[in-house]
Amino acid sequence: MAKPLVLIVEDDRSLADVLDYNLRQDGYDTLVARDGQDGLSQARLRGPQLIVLDLMLPLVDGLEICRRLRSDPATREMVILMLTAKAEETDQVAGFSVGADDYVTKPFSVKVLLERIRALLRRRQGNAMNGDTLVSQGIMVDRQRHRVTAGEQLLDLTPSEFSLLESLIRHPGRVFSRAELIDSALGGDSLVLERTIDVHVRALRKKLERHADLIETVRGVGYRFRDPASSFSMA
């Protein structure tokens, strides 16, 4: 079985060397880029399964790299873990808003980072192996091909947005708290803010366009996908 390929985009040479060594020891193939432009080039040319992406980089910063990768059909499915010294909540929300799958702040434990990488790749593999298709009210989620359509339109979703929509549409009418959505959609071992779910929901609604109101806000609790039965009122 081929080893997963991880691209490390980090301008701190000593840290990049530590990550490179530990990832190889943990069974991954690795690539290393020292600046944002090289990181973009290697991502497009080599197609890694996961990118460890520093936020502050020469030439092109991590947010812009993430934004470009998510906007390109050839790279939008790559798993992106942001690695940065910026620990403020607004920085974390900014990372998720452009499509990052996880966010780790420096300093960090290499062991914990490796666990986060394993969890992200397990989640992606689980989505790819489950071949069911979910259809409700004009929305179709095809987990085998990792595609979502709204009406006739193919949606360009990040992996986290895809998992969030899949969790909601699988149980129409059920109210999910933000914590439950972190567990079911992002993975129970994802250490993210509950507010992050709000960022993903806003982005998902924007992409759903005229179907956006199918994701309902339950004030003080969380979110649900509209139950088709609730669309019919009694005369």
Span 62-84, pLDDT tens digits: 999 999 998 887 788 789 998 88
Q: Where does the pLDDT of residue 23 fall: very low under 50, low under 70, confident under 90, or very high at 90 and above?
A: very high
pLDDT(187) > 90: no
Domain co-membership, 65 together with 82: yes
Encoding tokens for residue 196? 């992050």
Domain co-membership, 112 together with 219: no
Domain co-membership, 28 together with 110: yes
Give the domain CATH number at 53. 3.40.50.2300
Range of the domain at 66: 5-128
Span 152-180, pLDDT tens digits: 889 988 888 888 898 898 888 888 888 88
Domain co-membership, 121 together with 142: no
Domain co-membership, 139 together with 124: no
Domain co-membership, 22 together with 108: yes
pLDDT(218) > 60: yes
Domain co-membership, 91 together with 150: no
Give this prediction's pTM: 0.61
Domain end: 128, 153, 171, which one? 128
Domain co-membership, 64 together with 93: yes
Q: Where does the pLDDT of residue 33 fall: very low under 50, low under 70, confident under 90, or very high at 90 and above?
A: very high
| Overall domain count for the chain | 2
